[in-house]
Chains A and B, each alone.
Chain A
């Protein structure tokens, strides 16, 4: 194990990252040391730190997982953002693995520099848990792909530069075998976006109507009709992120950097730290989070790129419980004050928001029930649930015939 403070034994990579950060990052002010004329994240990309596991051709350094974690540790140590995109950036990693060179040149660097965002055009009104039942169609007209369909629950569609789209390209094959995966340029006519109001009061997700939307051949990811494979990789990254609990509280709120609830301080303020029944409840809730952190840390060690670890599906399920349980115990700590809401009642607004937003993790990205099926079937090897339409031509399935 490397020690963070013994300078004599420091390994060359760690020394290099440290040196670079010393020069470019002001750790005490938590901002770039100078104005470099370009954004911080672009600077990190150019230096090869944004995605150090990636090959040099695509802006990485070809580092092993262990070495990449050294880079992440050093960035975390001084609170510098921008690193770790090779582990957590859903669309960039999917693109790196399956994209054409043309598309990579067009989008990859901008994605990991976070100059552009993407959205996930997967779910449809009739295809949520059963994602392979999507009916949005992509047809080749001799020049490009033409997309027609209706997507729903699309987070971030209004600002996205690209949409990662799952669409049907062959209706005669069984449901999983006639799907293809596209990077759809979102800023074009034919795309109509309608915000949906969420139970939290936000409107991050949307309905997206696609009507003769045009997509170039080079924006097909993976092989034609092999979109399901691409999707699974994308979903694995998404679930990994959700398992780490990103986006737990309302943007712009105070509290610590990780948006984590400080349950012990809250209990102290509520005068509950001496209540032995409450202490045990609190201990259990804290334990859920810590055990998951240990799982995630172990998963990171075990995880090679584009391979899914069983711990990944587990941590999203664990995070769902953590978020619901934390909201429960926070509600308990607030007591009657949780009846209130809104700006004048910051603590209540925070807790009530968390309680609602916990469903984002237990429903979004595949529900808890689906996660359990995946763990049971794919990790433990238990028999699949019966699926009547799995092996028949999609055209004849209930999704089409009604």
Chain B
């Protein structure tokens, strides 16, 4: 949690972000953006910057608000509810936290203000074709070349690389994993956009054939893990917020859709489904929020909570979005209905940064090791 923001300021920024999205990120906006090559709204991006959303994690010294995981999680609930498309996770979370952890103040001064103002968009390449998002899944090698480095290999499932001005690449150097900066990402050859199941998510595959890069000092495997943890928390918040919006919309529908002379929500089969989903949604919200605060406090159980959030929120969102289609009947099977947009996002979010089973293992391992102490 941030020492810079009061409780009231935190609530205020969430509320204004929600209002902003209600105005500029409606379902029809999302559908319009899906049809554009860019896939996100630059005007909205600018407004988010003005509101402090993009610089949320950036220290005030570099033009940000210096907030933490708690504020991030809270805003991501709104972003998820609105199905916000765009590089918020890539640039505002992964990019910001990696640059912030870089020990070279020159780099921080040069890049962080742009990230916070929205003028610079960062994308982060973290995994290869295996799509495991684990250190052993990195398949880019970095070789020293004088003061600089040369990258070879391939990264895939790179979020919003197409929108990026700078690309951060996790790569294997002789002394271990490091993070390498490729500037002018727009003129980088070897970037292929991938067709995605979730049309609100843009992914690319990037092939490096000897690309010049700068190594960012201070960014080792543990710094990467820290950044990933923030991304996991952000994603959990997105999932919890999206699941809640889906449930709200579904409850609204079953309250009003009449069959057999009464609202279908009056049938226990449907009513009980809704009740079960509420349990999922509330659990997702609780764990996403608690993981965020444990991270900010540096609690001993923060890794355990982050892993729990990763799979509980993923499963909750998938289950809610899947049941929502069923509970809508025929209308839920149509492209023009919102249910499948959330369902696609749920299925995509459940794969980003590693699947639910990976996090189940990690969760239990964390619990075991605390238990052994």
Contacts and interface: CB of A to CB of B under 8 A. Distances in A.
Contacts of A336: 127, 130-133, 157, 351-352, 355
A326 to B, nearest CB: 14
A337 B194 CA distance: 11
A128 B259 contact: yes
A360 interface: yes
Interface in B316-333: 322, 325-326, 329-330, 332-333
A199 B198 CA distance: 12
Interface string A13-37: 0000000000000000000000000
Nearest to B350: A331
Nearest to B205: A340
B329 A367 contact: yes
Contacts of A189: none
By secondary structure, the B interface counts as mixed
A340 B330 contact: no
B197 A363 contact: no
Interface in B274-299: none
B35 to A, nearest CB: 13
Interface residues of B, number: 42
Nearest to B192: A344
A196 B322 CA distance: 20
Contacts of B336: 196-197
Q: Point out which of A128, A340, A348 has the most chain B C-beta atoms below 10 A from its C-beta.
A: A340
Contacts of B130: 336
B260 A387 contact: yes
Nearest to B358: A335
B347 interface: yes
A291 interface: no
A389 B260 contact: yes
Given A199-B335, A356-B340, A339 B198 contact: yes
Interface in B342-360: 343, 347-348, 351-352, 355, 357
Contacts of A337: 131
Interface of B: 127, 130-133, 157, 194-198, 201, 203, 258-262, 264, 267, 269-270, 322, 325-326, 329-330, 332-337, 339-340, 343, 347-348, 351-352, 355, 357
Given A360-B333, A387-B260, A388-B262, 16 more contacts: A133-B259, A197-B334, A197-B336, A199-B335, A335-B351, A335-B355, A339-B194, A339-B203, A339-B351, A340-B196, A344-B195, A345-B195, A355-B347, A369-B269, A397-B261, A399-B258
Closest 8 CB pairs of A and B: A336-B131, A342-B195, A197-B335, A388-B261, A130-B259, A199-B340, A389-B261, A369-B269
27 contacts: A128-B329, A129-B259, A199-B333, A324-B322, A335-B131, A336-B131, A336-B132, A336-B352, A337-B131, A338-B197, A338-B351, A339-B131, A339-B197, A339-B198, A339-B348, A339-B352, A340-B197, A341-B195, A343-B195, A352-B197, A359-B325, A363-B332, A369-B267, A373-B269, A385-B267, A387-B261, A389-B261
